[in-house]
């Protein structure tokens, strides 16, 4: 077989490649967009630190800048101190969310299924929802024997409303024909709950839990200013009192990282329960 070389001036077709095609690809955007966002955030942080250091009135707070803060962050991570800070806080968040879910999901199901209950509870629940969870701090200190119990109560008060309302709204969106079909097939109360209601509202409940987690994570830090001697909020308060501003900024970064990780887990669970996901 004879292979003929292309004539001079003939354009040889090869794999097409262009920068525009690369930047338009979803995989590129998935990586590039977060990198751009993080870079922009770091630039703003550096600029803020520079302005603080350059101002004689605020130069004593220059350790808030990224260079010193990231150095303190590395010391906290490498020494394992991050676990001593984080585990107590995660335990309190877990306790508060447990009670918020244990109360909010059943209450949301009742509100979603019973229009009369929904009408009776609407005004009181909306009123209670608008009260800052930290406003309950004096009550929590008086009622609970331990500081941990008071903090868990404050977190539960913050988290119960997103779970309740998301559950109720999710149940109201369920097609009533589903319940008729289930009853015609002989489904009893617990069977209706386990095989119709909970699968139908799973995505809405998880969305409510995600919102509740965000609110609870924000409430956690000031709640841990109460008499506890552990946790991320306590560590921030301690760093402020000892004027270790680099350490304070590092703990703020740790709070953001853990919060982002928890939110990502919730988002992954929501996508897993979404009816719209591709099988």
Q: Which of 159, 173, 149 is nearest to 228 (CA)?
A: 149
Mean pLDDT, residues 133-154: 90
Q: How far is CA 94 from the centre of its chain?
A: 13
Give 224's contacts (C-beta < 8 A, 6+ positions apart): 89, 92, 151, 231, 232, 233, 234, 237
| Same domain? 152 vs 39 | no
Q: Tell me whether residue 12 is in a domain.
A: no
Q: How many domains does the chain have?
A: 2
- Would the pLDDT of 19 be above 70? no
Q: Which sign, positive or negative, has the C-alpha torsion 212, 218, 222, 225?
A: positive
The pLDDT value given to residue 155:
94
Token pair for 24? 């338009």
Residue of 6 and 246 predicted with greater confidence: 246
260 secondary structure, DSSP code: H
- pTM value is 0.80
Query: CA–CA distance from 278 to each of 131, 147, 271, 275 (Å)?
Result: 41, 46, 10, 8
Burial of 178 (0-12, 13-18, 19+ CB in 10 A): middle
| Same domain? 90 vs 167 | yes
Give 156's contacts (C-beta < 8 A, 6+ positions apart): 95, 96, 97, 99, 100, 103
Token pair for 259? 């919060």
The pLDDT value given to residue 8:
55
Quote the domain boundaries for residue 59.
27-63
Structure confidence by residue, pLDDT tens digits, 157-181 = 999 999 999 999 988 887 777 777 7
| Same domain? 95 vs 187 | yes
Backbone phi, then psi, for 188, in 5-degree steps?
-90, -175
| Same domain? 116 vs 224 | yes
| Same domain? 265 vs 160 | yes
Q: Tell me whether residue 15 is in a domain.
A: no
For the chain, what is the radius of gyration of the CA atoms?
27
| Same domain? 96 vs 52 | no
Confidence category of residue 153, pLDDT binned at 50, 70, 90: very high
| Same domain? 34 vs 125 | no
Q: Tell me whether residue 103 is in a domain.
A: yes
CATH code for position 236:
1.10.3720.10
């Amino acid at each position: 077989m004879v292979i003929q070389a292309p004539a001079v001036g003939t354009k040889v077709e090869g794999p097409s490649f262009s920068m525009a095609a690369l930047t338009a690809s979803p995989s590129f955007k998935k990586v590039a967009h977060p990198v751009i966002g993080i870079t922009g955030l770091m630039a703003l942080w550096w600029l803020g630190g520079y302005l603080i250091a350059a101002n004689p009135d605020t130069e004593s707070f220059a350790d808030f800048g990224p260079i010193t803060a990231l150095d303190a962050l590395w010391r906290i991570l490498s020494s394992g101190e991050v676990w001593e800070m984080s585990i107590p806080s995660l335990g309190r968040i877990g306790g508060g969310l447990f009670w918020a879910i244990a109360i909010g999901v059943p209450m949301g199901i009742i509100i979603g299924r019973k229009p009369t209950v929904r009408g009776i509870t609407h005004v009181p629940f909306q009123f209670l929802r608008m009260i800052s969870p930290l406003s309950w701090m004096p009550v929590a200190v008086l009622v609970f024997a331990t500081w941990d119990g008071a903090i868990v109560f404050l977190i539960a008060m913050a988290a119960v409303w997103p779970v309740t309302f998301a559950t109720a709204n999710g149940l109201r969106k369920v097609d009533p024909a589903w319940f008729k079909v289930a009853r015609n097939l002989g489904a009893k109360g617990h069977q209706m709950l386990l095989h119709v209601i909970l699968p139908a509202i799973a995505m809405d409940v998880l969305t409510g839990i995600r919102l509740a987690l965000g609110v609870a994570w924000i409430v956690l830090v000031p709640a841990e200013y109460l008499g506890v001697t552990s946790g991320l909020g306590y560590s921030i308060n301690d760093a402020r009192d000892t004027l270790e501003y680099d350490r304070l900024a590092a703990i703020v970064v740790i709070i953001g990282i853990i919060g982002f990780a928890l939110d990502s887990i919730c988002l992954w669970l929501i996508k897993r329960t979404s009816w719209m996901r591709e099988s």
